[in-house]
Amino acid sequence: MIDLDRMALLGIDVGFSRSRPTTGIAWSKGRAFKAAKTHTDWERRSQNIPARTTFSVIAIDGPLVPLGSADSLDRLCERMFIRGAFQSRCKPGLSHHGYGRDLRRAAAETAEQVLHLAGHNVAVENAIRKGASVIEAFPNAFLGVLLPDARFAMPAAGKRKKFDWLYDHAVDSGVLENLFHTIGWLNLELIDAVLAERDHEKRAAWICLLTAACAAVGKSEVVGDEVGGWFWLPPIKLWAQWARDALAHNTTELRRQRHGS
């Protein structure tokens, strides 16, 4: 079994304000770990990442598409999560127009900043850059698919606070702690830090770090295609039944549409 305490992992919540610290960064190296909030420029981001470290997997919260993709590229992975039950629970924004294009550019810039830190010793299929273990995290869906149906019957959060609502319920219901145990990451100090986190950007970065950890141990559910890129999500066996059903339904519907039947 892969020992996550022997690996270095990095998670980045992109953010793209040029004036405010909206980037979240979380890393683990051995049993050491840290989360920080910083700005978009590499000079300040790099100050929050251990020097001279090669990371087995780097997960970035932001739309990552293959090099050379058109700004107008409509991504399958996003289409999978904007319909059905996902639509009201953990949908993404579409990254091929408006605000989404800005986020796509910011994610690409972030990937280029950290590419030299990505290791090559972990076999990560569907990485967004050939030969480098850089993958896309989607924190809202990562948490949302873990939550039982009953949680969504509770008062919902406004759009701007949706992620924190999902995080709070993932902690309260025990599904977030259970994920650590499922992937064999039993660093109790790290678990306590993640469960107790209150800062929005740091929370997002922790989920990116967990996304990297799932990929590193080969327990991710990966949704998307080679044209538009991939979402890396928790192991399917941990998904709530409603989420499994929604994924299966949307897969069938999108396949039918693409084949004109």
pTM above 0.85, yes or no: yes
Domain for residue 112, yes or no? yes
Domain for residue 254, yes or no? no
Domain for residue 206, yes or no? yes
Q: Residue 148 has what pLDDT?
A: 96
CB atoms within 10 A of CB 187: 17
Integer Cα distance of 106 and 12 in angstroms: 12
Helix 175-182 and helix 162-173, axial crossing angle in degrees, nearest 10: 70
| Domain of residue 221, CATH code | 3.30.420
User: Which mean pLDDT values do the consecutive 10-residue runs of the chain (261 residues) have?
Assistant: 90 87 96 96 96 95 93 94 94 89 93 91 72 93 97 75 95 98 97 98 98 95 94 98 97 82 52
Q: How many domains does the chain have?
A: 1
Which residue range(s) make up the domain with 229? 4-73+94-142+174-234
Q: Residue 159 has what pLDDT?
A: 59
Extended strands (E) in 39-82? 57-61
Domain for residue 53, yes or no? yes
Domain for residue 158, yes or no? no
